Amino acid sequence: MNATPDPTRWLIVNADDFGASQGTNEGIERAHRRGIVTSASLMVNMAGTDDAVRRATSLGRLGLGLHVNLTNEWDDPVVDIDDLGACEVEMAAQLQRFCDLMGRLPDHIDAQHNVNFLDHLRPAFEALASGAGLPLRGSSPVPYFGGFYGRWDGASHPEQISVANLEMILGTHLAGHDVVELACHPGLRHADLRSEYDREREIELGTLTDPRAARLVDRARFRLGTFAEVTAWLGGGSVP
């Protein structure tokens, strides 16, 4: 028998790279409709951005944040990330672009390749998020866990994104948290995106939509939610 989720324990399963390509978008939509993904981070300057926006309008329960893209995947960077002024201008432009596309602010902010954790960029990201009243990955009351990832040092590690490892993550790494974000990167291969993480995206999609994944979340006594829901709960307000 599955355990009853604790209403005071929240797990946000956030899919990065929404908008990167049509295949990535399809994977994220499946992982939300058929799996445990509750939230996604939109890239506003990619080939699949318009497709992601169309999908998002039909996914009313999917939380949606801004995935600031300064670095791209394989192409030349959007800006020189050593140029703080250029980065600040681009970050503000992408936040405005999100608002123009969606007609509202994002639920949260994070960044491609987690550049918001870089020492020289962190204050700029914190100022952007604070100015908009939004949680920023790694600088908010919602701790970030990025260990559900299947590639590093040029090698694939499919065992890291398996159902078995998800069980270990939920039972060990996340066990001490009452609120936590689990980042993921589900997707399908598509010609619009050249990425070394293609195979791993599809493995993640399989894990996140496996019926066992939802049972594991229940067993860990987490309540699945979005940043908007968790922010409201932390603030003592009603959950949307």
Give the Cβ contact number of residue 17 at 10 Å. Answer: 29
Identify the bridge partners of residue 10 per DSSP, sorted by sequence position: 179, 223
| pLDDT at 72 (0 to 100) | 87
| pLDDT at 74 (0 to 100) | 62
| pLDDT at 76 (0 to 100) | 83
pLDDT band at 1 (very low <50, low <70, confident <90, very high): very low
Residues 6 or more apart whose Cβ sits within 8 Å of residue 218: 2, 3, 4, 5
Type of residue at 132: A
In the predicted model, what is the mean pLDDT of residues 12-32? 96
- Give the model confidence (pLDDT) of 124-172 as tens digits: 999 999 999 999 999 999 999 999 999 988 899 999 999 999 999 999 9
- Report DSSP letters for the chain, one per residue: -PPPPPTT-EEEEEEEEETS-HHHHHHHHHHHHSSS--EEEE-SSSTTHHHHHHHHHT-TT-EEEEEE-SS-SSS--SS-TT-HHHHHHHHHHHHHHHHHHHSS--S-EEEGGGGGGSTTTHHHHHHHHHHHT--BTTSSSS-EE-----EETTEE-GGGGSHHHHHHIIIIISTT-SEEEEEE------TT---TTHHHHHHHHHHHTSHHHHHHHHHTTPEE--HHHHHHHHTTS---
- Percent share of the chain, pLDDT over 90: 84
- Give the model confidence (pLDDT) of 86-133 as tens digits: 999 999 999 999 999 999 999 999 999 999 999 999 999 999 999 999
Q: Does the pLDDT value for residue 197 go beyond 60?
A: yes
Say if strands 109-111 and 144-145 run parallel, antiparallel, or are unpaired. Answer: unpaired
Domain ranges of the chain: 10-234
Q: Does the pLDDT value for residue 210 go beyond 60?
A: yes
Q: Does the pLDDT value for residue 192 go beyond 90?
A: no
pLDDT band at 2 (very low <50, low <70, confident <90, very high): low
Alpha-carbon span 193 to 198, nearest angstrom: 9
Fold adopted by 10-234: TIM Barrel (3.20.20)
| pLDDT at 154 (0 to 100) | 86
Select the more confidently predicted residue: 60 or 170: 170
